[in-house]
Amino acid sequence: MSLSALQQIPADVANLADFEAHARACMSEQAFAYLNGGAADEQVLRANRAAWDAIKLWPRVLRDLSGGHTRITLLGREWPQPVALAPIAYQRLAHPDGELASAYAAAAQGAGLILSAQASMPMQGVAQAMLSEADRGPLWFQLYWRDDRDFMRELLQRIEAAGFEALVLTVDAPVHGARDRERRAGFKLPDDIRAVNLGGLKKPLDLAPGQSAMFDGLMPRAAKWAEIDWLRQHSRLPLLLKGVAHPEDAREAQRRGVAGLIVSNHGGRTLDALPTTAELLPMLRATMGEDFPLLVDGGIRRGTDVLKAIALGANAVLLGRPYVHALATAGALGVAHALRLLRDELEIAMALCGCKQLSEAGPHLLWQTRL
């Protein structure tokens, strides 16, 4: 697979937020509503961003920072920077090159990539784009559970054969949230865009009169703890769970051998009455101990946000909507530029806070209001 001709970065783009207006101009109203909207009144969508803004850094000065870097080690491999592209579905809604463009950009910038199960480009081509770069970040595959074990077994085999290095099961979205903005826009997938890696059709609901489509149809098919055990038994890849919010669920995941958690409220797209990820992160770090892998997403826009997340206990962060805005604006070059901007801002924040490497970032780097 090849990419479209390179596009230009607009001259007025100085940070990740600047891509949004350009993305809106490049996309249909329906596609923008789908990719950018949240659930219900979008309170969580707004609160995620506000929570990072509310955290203040407390810098140290006059330190020797020569030899500093943004590298981390997670799940047995080195990451050039603590950033991965979050799994976002149907990226061809934003740009014809879709997930392939995102993969080339991530590989070029040393960022990780988590490919959505609902990707609109074949997983093999996306994996090849990442694997061809020696200094790339990690390559993971995100799953939604489908109540068809034969299908899931075959999917796991394809994921491993393509070269993916870990599985990420999304557990906080067994059903769609009530996404009003998307419904008002009348969003429907175009005929030429589909989840190309998910062959076949889901089984139709078989309901008796008076039964609930939700509680008698959809929820019996949703993943439960037994499915976590099944996935670990049928794949050699480490398994992370995305969307665990409660400490008891986090402890249960750890007991069952899960390799890590992604602290997420689905970018505000599922339940519009959740804590922000910046609030959840330190609680889950305290629950899981200092060595258990934790990543976080939701509202990350600045390099200072990345440093704040590391200081609160994250090992790495996921970047979501901003890279889709960059993709819509300028394809692979746009995503690469967004990642470079974020890394540059992270290095600036580290330097100005007296932080030579990210292992030095902790709660002491954050200002706490004193009486």
- Asked if residues 75 and 293 have their Cβ atoms less than 8 Å apart, the reply is yes
**Dihedral (Cα; 126, 130, 132, 134), 10-degree rounding:** -170
Closest CA to 262 of 196, 172, 158: 172
Q: Is 40 helix (H, G, I), strand (E, B) or coil?
A: coil
Q: Which residues of 103-127 are buried (b: 16+ CB within 10 A; e: fewer)?
A: bbbbbbbbbbbbbbbbbbbbbeebb
Q: Strand pairing partners for 168? A: 142, 240
- H or E element in which residue 101 lies: helix 98-109
| Alpha helices (H) along 132-224 | 149-162, 180-184
- Asked if residues 114 and 86 have their Cβ atoms less than 8 Å apart, the reply is yes
Q: Which residues contact 368 (CB under 8 A, 6 or more apart)?
A: none
Residue whose structure tokens are 């979501």: 320
Cα-atom radius of gyration of the chain, to the nearest Å? 20
Which member of 266, 325, 337, 364 is catalytic? 266
- Asked if residues 286 and 318 have their Cβ atoms less than 8 Å apart, the reply is no
Give catalytic status of residue 266 as yes or no: yes
Would the CA dihedral through 239, 240, 243, 249 be positive or negative? positive
Active site residues: 266
